[in-house]
Amino acid sequence: MRGGERRISAVMAIGALDSAIFADMFGTAAMREVFGDDAFLARCVEVEAALAQAQGRLGIIPAEAADAIAHAASSLANGREALDLVRLKTETETVGYPILPLVRQLAELAGASGRYLHWGATTQDIMDTAVVLQIRAGLTLIEEDLTAVRGHLAGLARRHRDTPMAGRTHLQHALPVTFGYKAAVWLYALDRHSQRLRELRPRVLLAQFGGAAGTLASLGDGEKSLKVRAELARELELDDPPITWHVVRDGIAETVQVLALLLGSLGKIAFDVMLMSATEFGEAAEPFVAGRGSSSTMPQKRNPISCELILAAAKVLRQQAGLVLDAVVTDFERATGPWHVEWVAVPEAFGYAAGALQQARFMLGGLIVDAGRMAKNLAMTHGLIVAEAVMMGLAPYTGRNEAHDVVYAACRLAIETDRPLLDVMLETPAVAGPLGLEKLRALTDPANYLGAAPNMVDRMLAGR
């Protein structure tokens, strides 16, 4: 313990989240503190102490024993004592789980009162509740970063409400939109993810205490044992479930699915920005930082590093979302293996989600938007992007199908001769006759064909 503390020697990292090189590109220090070994053990100790306190108040164990256990836990928390991690690791490898080795050391610190530690509990009770505490802390970090990212998107939508640009479908010019509209569409998805994160909390932030098979039989009286679980939940500020949930893992799985959905939406944003930063588009760029995104051979390069990291994280997290679904399929009253995949999937899901959000926060917080280049690209087809506007303007005179065929032919001619659509239309009697010069000039101006895009931006920003 303190003075004779034994810690595990550093283990070579084989994953990006623990890498001395890549850890802060794919993850964050704050999330590592939540899901690291020290934090997990601290949460397990916290649960053991809370259980003892709950049982002491209800007379299940002596109150003085509960106080001694809480004091021992406090000594670990404030650094007066320390776990022998070498011993813990060795014993965990023998037992297969870390709780019995942890209980042994905590009981030694509690002295004679240590005999009442872990009373009526089983390993999964402690580990599940500890992980729920980690998830709660992880969700808080995720929501903080998500709120900041949503704020950046709202700012972009507001500033560029009326900034016209080419809307693209199948990578080709479709109709004019505004960049504010594009940012508001991105924001709409993240708003829903924020709502999902709030809504899942009551389904996942639950205390787990059921004993060997979930029935709490070791505590005797049924009602009194249920009071222990309720008191444990109150002590940890968690919800008290109506029944043991250790073999129904949907709450844990839902959490990872929502994180995967969130990163899917961040990936869409990153994909759009990455394409917009291509030389041929030049409409947006990640914030400039000297040397960031540099090429080892091409001095002119400024690669979209944050976008690339977000896309990679989204793909990796998708695999964890699939993996954690395997843990939902459990056998009988204690799973033989599926639970273990959560030990991998849950920390990594939170790690990659935090990293992607940090990258998005940086990228969107300083996104460089080139409205001039957007206007230039919008005009590059000389009005073809608003051919639909001409068709709809002509339709009342000729009928919709006839208008389509006339405008289609004019578009083909404009493309073949590389001339502005307006010039070709003026030479097409079936169009110029009913519409005239001024009407055609208005119809072929992309800025006049934004539809309800600005209005939808206003609706997205209302109340912010």
What tens digit of pLDDT does each residue of 332-349 get? 988 888 899 999 999 999
- The pLDDT value recorded for residue 301 is 57
Lowest mean pLDDT of 5-9, 41-45, 322-326, name the range: 5-9
Domains of the chain, CATH where assigned: 36-119+208-243 (1.10.275.10), 123-206+245-370 (1.20.200.10), 384-443 (1.10.40.30)
Which residues have C-beta within 8 Å of that of residue 10, sequence separation ≥ 6?
none
Query: pLDDT-derived band of residue 52, with 50, 70 and 90 as boundaries?
Result: very high
Q: What percent of the chain has pLDDT over 90?
A: 89
375-384 average pLDDT score: 92
Q: How far is CA 381 from CA 168, 412, 419, 437, in A?
A: 13, 12, 9, 19
Cα-only R_g, the chain: 30
Would you say 44 and 99 are in contact if contact means Cβ atoms under 8 Å apart?
yes
Element (H, E) at 172: strand 172-178
Q: Give pLDDT tens digits for 65-78.
A: 999 999 999 999 99
CA angle 418, 422, 428 (to 5 degrees): 95
Rounded to whole angstroms, what are the CA distances from 363 to 69, 313, 316, 356, 380? 48, 15, 20, 10, 28
- The angle formed by the CA atoms of residues 228, 230 and 231, to the nearest 5 degrees, is 65
Which pLDDT does position 302 carry in this prediction? 73
pLDDT greater than 50 at residue 3: no
What mean pLDDT is predicted for residues 57-61?
A: 95
What percentage of residues in the chain have a pLDDT greater than 70? Answer: 95
pLDDT at site 296: 52
**pLDDT digit string, tens, across residues 262-298:** 999 999 999 999 999 999 999 999 998 766 655 555 5
pLDDT digits (tens, 9 = 90+) for 185-208: 999 999 999 999 999 999 999 999
Task: Inform me whether the pLDDT recorded for 135 exceeds 50.
Answer: yes
Give SS3 for 173: strand
Of the CA atoms within 13 Å of residue 372, those in its CB half-sphere come to 0
Q: What are the residue numbers of the active site?
A: 170, 295
State yes or no: pLDDT of 15 exceeds 70: yes
Q: Where are the beta strands (DSSP E) in 207-335?
A: 284-285
The neighbour count for residue 250, using CB atoms within 10 Å, is 14
Cα 378 to Cα 165, 179, 381, 386, 447, distances in angstroms = 6, 12, 7, 10, 9
pLDDT, one tens digit per residue, over 253-263 is: 999 999 999 99
**What is the structure's pLDDT at 303?**
87
Mean pLDDT taken over the chain:
93
